[in-house]
Amino acid sequence: MPAAATDDKKKLYWGIGIVVAIVLAALAFFAMRKPTPAVKPKYVAPAPPAGAPAPKPKPAPAPTSTAAKTNTDPQSLPVDMTKSLSAGSTGNEVERLQDDLGELGQGIACDGTWGPETTACLTAQYLLWGANPPDSITLNDFEAMPGSMSVVDKISSFIGV
């Protein structure tokens, strides 16, 4: 076979390889993105009829206790990443796990108590990853799983997205 034909084949194979790599990288990027929540339109009250008296303003809400939580973002709560969690566990670590599951698309409330809903969501997520769901887990183990949000965030920050 002439050398020119061999060079043309090499160029063709390289070109195909590059296109395949770009397509796979794009698919991986879009598959790992956080789903954007649907924005509900705000309710707009109809305008009062002409000549009607102006509505009375609503009273200000009563002050709340200073002991109430001021920051409810589970990602900012102090947690022990190595604490073993299982059914019946409670605390900030469970709330963080529930928040991570919610970010991955599992419909779960962040109440800080590992009940049947947490078990079902964790099992579903592990099955989506193609892994066997564990009986107990640490946040380090969960966030190290392929496809977890922390891995996606690390890759996104690495590639500058």
pLDDT at 54: 65
Q: Taking Cα atoms as reference points, which of 34, 30, 31 lies closest to residue 102?
A: 34
pLDDT at 40: 57
Q: What is the reported pTM?
A: 0.49
User: Which residue, 78, 74, 142, 138, is CA-closest to 110?
Assistant: 74
pLDDT-derived band at 88 (thresholds 50, 70, 90) equals: very high
